[in-house]
Amino acid sequence: MKSLTAALGLSLAIILGLSAAAPRARAAVVTRNFVLSGSGFSASGGGSVLPVDPASVDFTVTFNDSVVDEAATTGLVINATNVPYGWQFAYNPTGDLLNLATQAGPLGCAIGAGSACAYINGATGAAPTVTLFQQSTSDGVNWTAANTNLTYSSLGVVAAPEPAAWATMLLGLAGLGGALRARRKAVAAAI
């Protein structure tokens, strides 16, 4: 019985020590609905084809806020838009940056003829903002919105288990297994 108590005590000490030492990283699967709009598009060189103005995209996106997402369409639902481009998104947790674009990447957008790009900073925060909304018309001219607006609603945040939580749980199970093994040995020795 004494060895069982010692084993449980040691297991508890290890678990508590690791839990206290483990850094707390945020990790959650986030679902948000954004309505992005832009108007007053202007081009530095002018162009023969005008962009959609005003332009708007109403979309719902689901992503893990601790993982760099490369260009993806999984987790993206376009609810409504008046812009004639295909969309994908990328997320970078370092700057809490969400890119919505025809060709998205975690560090930015590739914009070419017949495409669009938008940067949403603070995508998981309390006050996300649009820092860029651009369209490139079929003639290859880039148009940037002078006025942008962004509304959002958080549809859900689900905690994603952190590696430290898994490690702590596995150590706890190993500690319990060791305690049971020590108990069996103590019972066998007593008989």
Structure confidence at residue 26 (pLDDT)? 55
pLDDT along the chain (191 residues), means of 10: 45 42 59 94 82 93 84 89 91 90 82 89 91 89 92 68 66 77 74 72
Cα 40 to chain centroid distance, Å, stands at 30
**C-alpha to C-alpha distances, 116 to 38, 68, 137, nearest whole angstrom:** 12, 21, 9
Q: How many CA atoms lie within 13 A of 18 on its CB side?
A: 15
Helix (H, G, I), strand (E, B) or coil at 134: strand
**How many Å apart are CA 162 and CA 11, to the nearest integer?**
20
Run of H or E including 162: none
pLDDT of res. 44? 74
pLDDT score, position 155: 66
Q: Quick check: 156 and 59 in contact, CB under 8 A?
A: no
Q: Cα–Cα distance between 96 and 119 in angstroms, integer?
A: 10
State the DSSP H helix or E strand holding residue 104, giving kind and residue range, or none if neither.
Answer: strand 104-105
Q: Indicate whether this model's pTM tops 0.85.
A: no
